[in-house]
Amino acid sequence: MSRAFNFEGPVFTFLSRLADLFWLNLLFIVCCIPVITIGAATTALYYVTLKMAKDEEGYITRSYFKSFKENFKQATVIWIGFLVVGMIMITDLRIVNGGNTAEILSSPALGNVIMVAVFLMGIVILMVGTYIFPILAQFDNTIKNTAKNAFLISIRHLPYTIAMLVITAIPVVLIWFFPALFILVLIMFSATAYFNSKLFNKIFVLYMPKEDSSSDPAEDINGEG
């Protein structure tokens, strides 16, 4: 038998990783169904993929639900915060596009200001949203410091941030323009998190104490950034 096809060869290694990502993707989708649990589901997803990217994943299901349970409260509060901010932004856009509300408070220019403000806020939300759940999965901290660090680290490592936004957007764009590729949904969430995690690991190691850089996730990043 060719070395490529033995149980430790590249073919079986690839197929094994593909199967793991498929199962992890399914866990993520099921745990997102209640909607309110999306934050905890995303944190658990990254808890596993951050380990997978270093070949340290262990038992995927056990690790996933371990993180889901341990980070549920903080992740849910953060997720609700994103929902509230998102609703405010959508409301502002509807008001501006509707052209009502006392003619946008009697100043058409104010409408443009609101549009710019919403656009800038959207960029901040994307940057913070890209980092906040992986950071929560990797480090122990308060919600306030987790959000602060997500923002500061996303700016400090802007090239990585842009790369991760592109990685995240690729499957969405493909499905949008080629609906037949909707089958990608069977693996797109876990695969995206997995490839992003390879970059996150390069970033997070910079914020871990040297002696603990290989320890289990839950390091303190307080004051970093």
Question: If you write DSSP's letter for every residue of 52-117 in order, what string do you get?
Answer: HTTT---SHHHHHHHHHHHTHHHHHHHHHHHHHHHHHHHHHHHHHHHT-HHHHHH-HHHHHHHHHH
| Position 149 in a domain | yes
Tally of domains within the chain: 1
Long-range (24+ apart) CB contacts under 8 A made by 55-58 are 57/20
pLDDT on residue 1: 44
pLDDT on residue 34: 96
| Position 225 in a domain | no
Longest dimension (CA), the chain: 78
| Residue (of 14, 65, 17, 25) closest to 187 by Cα position | 25
Question: How far, CA to CA in Å, does 190 sit from each of 23, 53, 85, 117, 138?
Answer: 9, 11, 26, 32, 17
Cut 0.95: pTM above it:
no
Domain containing residue 54:
3-220
* Tokens of residue 10, six digits: 């590249």
Distance between CA atoms of residues 71 and 143, nearest Å: 11
Residues 6+ apart with CB under 8 A from 198: 53
pLDDT on residue 208: 86
pLDDT on residue 9: 66
**Burial readout 133-146 (b: 16 or more C-beta within 10 A, e: otherwise):** bbbbbbbbbeeebb
Tens-binned pLDDT, residue by residue, of the chain (225 aa): 445 455 566 778 888 899 999 999 999 999 999 999 999 999 999 999 999 999 887 899 999 999 999 999 999 999 999 999 999 888 877 776 765 555 555 566 666 777 788 889 999 999 999 999 999 999 999 999 999 999 999 999 999 999 999 999 999 999 999 999 899 999 999 999 999 999 999 999 999 877 544 444 444 455 443
| Position 90 in a domain | yes
| Position 170 in a domain | yes
| Position 73 in a domain | yes
| Position 209 in a domain | yes
Distance between CA atoms of residues 193 and 49, nearest Å: 6
Q: Given the DSSP bridges, would you call strands 219-220 and 139-140 parallel, antiparallel or unpaired?
A: parallel
Distance between CA atoms of residues 113 and 123, nearest Å: 16
